[in-house]
Structure formats: C-alpha cells, structure tokens
C-alpha cells in the first residue's frame, strides 16, 4: 500500500467493481469526512485512472476534451443507474452520452483461435485509444444495465456516500462495512443523546 497517497485512494472496492469497470467509473466521485473527492478531477488523474483500469496504454496521452468526455460519461452513467433502479425514464442527455460513447469506437468482431479452440473476440478500434476506452466503458455499462446483474444495482444508503454497488443479498444496504459501521455508530450516538437528560 502506498502510504504517501491521500487516504481517499485507499477506499475499499465495492461489490461489483471487479466485474464492471463502469461501476468503478461511477464510483470515482464520492464523499469523505473532509468533503467531495473526484478521482478524475483533471486530465492527468483521468489518464491515470484509465491506465490503472487497463483501458488505455500508459504511453497514450489524453487531452482536456477527452478527460471531460470521461467525466461526462460518468455523470450520464450515474443518471442511467438511478433511472434503472427507480424504473424511471432516464434523461435524454444521459442516454445520448452513452450512445455516443458506444458509437465512437465500435468494436470489430473477429474469430480468435486459442488453446481452447475458436471463439468470437470483439477488438476495440485502436485508431483512437481514448474513444476506444470510452466505448469499452459504455459497452460495459450497457451490459450491466441490461443484464442479469441489473436487479442487484443499488446506491449506498449511507448518508453522503453516493457510491454504487451490486448487492450480494437483498438486505445489503451499504457499499462496504465501513459505511455500515458509520451508519450504526451514528444511530447509536443519536440514541444515547436522545436518552440523556437535558
């Protein structure tokens, strides 16, 4: 663990981020005790996030417009996740953003032959790596929103958290035990205060 990094970089991953990188993207904006954190707050941070998630080669440089598109896609996914969970119609702009990212660098179907035999492989367009990264994120989100896991998608119930996760069971309400413990501690504190004489 890098002890020099800010404490918010040590956030525990939430259930589902290991399977859906789009979920990890949505969770790049969250709150900590001293305020809001945005892991994509500038071009360098956005580049680092894409590289760490193996969506972009380290040698590829992105510009401010491309990092802005990544943040725009993140906010669109937040709106789409919310619409999915509440069974509401999503904002047209959020849907347009996702569809534009899907169309920016469509994958090309290929037949790959490995030791296990032939299988279909969809290769992302390598001509524009930044657009390909956004397209992969959008495709991942579309898979999440339309697949079997969509019914497990939920936002953490801890006040101020705003991270999304996949529930492992119906009673789960918090993205991590840390959030659950924080909520329980706040309830216990409120109960003690309510029971103490004035």
What are the extents of the domains in the chain?
7-195
pLDDT for 171 equals 73
CA distance 167 to 184: 19
Q: Is 13 in contact with 59 (CB distance < 8 Å)?
A: no
Instruction: Identify the CA nearest to 56 among candidates 45, 65, 64, 47.
Output: 47
pLDDT digits (tens, 9 = 90+) for 114-128: 999 999 988 777 788
Q: Is 155 in contact with 23 (CB distance < 8 Å)?
A: no
Is the pLDDT confidence value at 84 over 80? yes
What does DSSP assign to residue 189? H
How far is CA 132 from its chain centroid? Answer: 17
Residues 6+ apart with CB under 8 A from 70: 25, 40, 46, 49, 50, 133, 134, 137
pLDDT for 11 equals 65
Q: Is 161 in contact with 30 (CB distance < 8 Å)?
A: yes
Maximum CA extent, the chain: 75
pLDDT for 126 equals 75
pLDDT for 183 equals 56
pTM: 0.82
Q: Tell me how many helices (H) and strands (E) the chain has.
A: 6, 6
What contacts 24+ positions apart, CB below 8 Å, involve 45-50? 46/70, 46/71, 49/25, 50/130, 50/133
Q: How big is the CA angle at 48 (ends 161 and 139), to the nearest 5 degrees?
A: 70
Q: Which helix (H) or strand (E) holds 117?
A: strand 117-123
Phi-psi region of 93 (alpha: psi -120 to 50; beta: other; left: phi over 0): alpha
Query: Helix, strand or coil for residue 158?
Result: coil
The pLDDT confidence band at residue 109, using thresholds 50, 70 and 90, is confident
Determine whether domain 7-195 maps to CATH 3.50.50.60: no
pLDDT for 161 equals 84
Is the pLDDT confidence value at 50 over 80? yes
162 vs 76, residue with greater confidence: 76
């Amino acid at each position: 663990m890098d002890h020099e990094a800010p404490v918010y970089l040590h956030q525990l991953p939430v259930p589902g981020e290991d399977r859906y990188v789009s979920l990890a993207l949505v969770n790049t904006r969250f709150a900590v005790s001293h305020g809001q954190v945005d892991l994509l707050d500038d071009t360098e941070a956005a580049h680092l996030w894409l590289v760490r998630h193996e969506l972009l080669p380290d040698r590829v440089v992105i510009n401010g417009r491309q990092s802005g598109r990544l943040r725009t896609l993140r906010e669109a996914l937040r709106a789409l996740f919310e619409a999915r969970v509440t069974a509401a119609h999503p904002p047209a702009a959020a849907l347009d953003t996702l569809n534009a990212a899907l169309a920016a660098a469509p994958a090309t179907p290929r037949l790959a032959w490995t030791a296990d035999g032939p299988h279909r492989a969809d290769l992302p367009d390598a001509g524009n790596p930044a657009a390909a990264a956004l397209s992969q994120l959008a495709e991942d989100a579309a898979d999440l929103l339309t697949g079997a896991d969509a019914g497990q998608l939920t936002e953490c119930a801890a006040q101020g958290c705003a991270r999304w996760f996949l529930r492992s069971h119906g009673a789960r309400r918090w993205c991590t035990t840390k959030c659950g413990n924080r909520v329980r501690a706040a309830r216990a504190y409120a109960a003690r205060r309510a029971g103490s004489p004035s």
